[in-house]
Amino acid sequence: MPRIFPLLAAIAAISIVGVGLSMTIPLIAVRMEAAGYSASANGWGVAMSGVATIIVSPLIPMLVRQLGVRRLMLLALALALASLSGLAFVDNVIWWFPIRFLLGASLTLFFVVSEYAINALAPQDRRGLWIGVYSTSLYLGFALGPAIIGLVGTDGRIGFYCAMALFVLGGAPIIAAGRQIPSFSDHAKSPPWGMIARAPLIMLASLLFGALETGAMGLLPVHALRNGYDAATGALFVSFVAFGNVAFQLPLGLMSDRVDRLKLILVIAIFGLAGALLATVLTPHYALFCALLFVWGGVVGGLYMVGLAMLGARYTGADLASANSAYVMLYATGMMIGPPMLGATLDASPAHGLFGGVAALFAVYLAIYAATAKRPASA
């Protein structure tokens, strides 16, 4: 039987933190815009979180080993509250860049430890189901954050106060359950960077998903504008992808408990390539394009979730923590390289560049899959 309380605590923690995160991004963007900073400066501010993830992720197995889950989550919560307080009360936006780095560090701790806990606690034959529940809850949390901003507004500090309250609400359950989450005193067989070489197809699925989630979804409204749609329709296109993510996580999680997960990732990647190529043709056809975004976005959203389940099936203890750190680190790397790469292809071809670039990313992954999958030790 799974240990229900710590499992639910880990899922609740990351879901509620997801609400807080999805609130802070538009809050900060609006305040930087009001202060007269360029969109480029705004983008660099977002990138600070990715830099923090890449730097902090490799340290997490050592931190879990030395502090334990409970104390590490207390540290993450304290760091998040201090960072949000800084964003609320420090008016000099230049200071927001290091503050956002610290906020990114705290979020990295929350995500890696929560995902490690879910994988460590989920029963082997229901791992995909539990990770599907986690992914669905997280996407719902991301969708709820902007809705709260719509209610409280972006003026003043109330939005930051709400985000701080959500972080406390999300952090409390996993801190309470910390002693029930398996810890470890041994060292992993490989550091996080070494885990990439041990499981390249799993790890690269995370990088690919990070590039798609931030690059393709972030630029989808621009794609819409450059193809004759208005800004509201562009935002609606993003919503169709988000709804697809929510709808498909549980079915894909259940499927991953019944089939070879590596082959499922292959099917998702082939579907992602075919759907991206189809999107270049269907963009002018509104209804068909919306339906495609819903299904394509939902299926492709399973890349991260299925890969995460594979890590839990393959590793335990310190090795699982190390592998999970590498997985999140590559996701953050994808977040940083995806937008500029896909932005360049979109500039090169307003009609076909975005999804043509996405198709190219899937094609590269499938080529690596074909070259790597024949070696069982690296699969």
The domains spanning 4-180 and 192-374 adopt the same CATH topology = yes
**Residues sharing a CB contact under 8 Å with residue 268, sequence separation 6 or more, in sequence order:** 252, 299, 300, 302, 303, 306
Confidence band, pLDDT 50/70/90 cuts, at residue 346: confident
Assess whether pLDDT exceeds 50 at residue 377.
no
Q: So what's the pLDDT on residue 293?
A: 93
pLDDT at 235 over 80: no
Mean pLDDT calculated for residue range 122-144: 86
Q: What is the pLDDT of residues 75-109, one digit of tens each?
A: 988 998 999 898 888 878 788 889 989 988 998 89
98 close to 158: Cβ distance less than 8 angstroms: no
**What is the pTM (predicted TM-score) of this model?**
0.84
Quick one: pLDDT band at residue 40, thresholds 50, 70, 90?
low
Q: pLDDT at position 66, please?
A: 85
Checking if the pLDDT of 379 tops 60, the result is no
Q: Which of 130-144, 153-167, 284-298 has the highest mean pLDDT?
A: 284-298
Q: Comparing 16-30, 66-80, 355-369, which segment has the lowest mean pLDDT?
A: 16-30
CATH number of the domain located at residue range(s) 4-180 in this protein: 1.20.1250.20
Compute CA 213 distance to the chain's CA centroid, rounded to the nearest angstrom: 8
Residue 166 pLDDT greater than 90, yes or no = no
Cβ count near 39 (within 10 Å) = 10
Residue 39 has pLDDT above 60, yes or no: no
Average pLDDT of the chain?
A: 84
What does the alpha-carbon distance between residue 108 and residue 87 come to, in Å, rounded to a whole number? 18
> Which residues, including other chains, have CB under 8 Å from residue 344's CB and lie 6 or more apart?
357
User: In this structure, what DSSP letter does residue 57 have?
Assistant: G
* Tokens 């995370």, residue located: 206
pLDDT of residue 378: 45
| Mean pLDDT value of segment 349-363 | 92
Q: Which two tokens mark 350? A: 């307003």
Query: What pLDDT is stored for residue 374 in this prediction?
Result: 63
pLDDT band at 67 (very low <50, low <70, confident <90, very high): confident
Asked if the model's pLDDT at residue 45 lies above 80, the reply is no
Q: What pLDDT sits at residue 43?
A: 61
Predicted confidence (pLDDT) at residue 136 exceeds the cutoff of 60: yes
Q: Could you give the CA distance from residue 287 to residue 190 in angstroms, rounded to a whole number?
A: 49
**Domain ranges in the chain?**
4-180, 192-374
Fold of 192-374: Growth Hormone; Chain: A; (1.20.1250)
Residue 375 is predicted with a pLDDT of 59
pLDDT at position 95:
87
DSSP 4: H
pLDDT(161) > 80 = yes
* Cα distances (angstroms) measured from residue 271 to each of 118, 209, 260, 359: 28, 14, 17, 10
- C-beta neighbour count of 96 within 10 angstroms: 23
Mean pLDDT of 14-24: 78
Nearest to 120 by CA among 54, 164, 61: 61
DSSP 84: H
Taking the C-alpha atoms of residue 379 and residue 200, their distance in angstroms, rounded to an integer, is 7
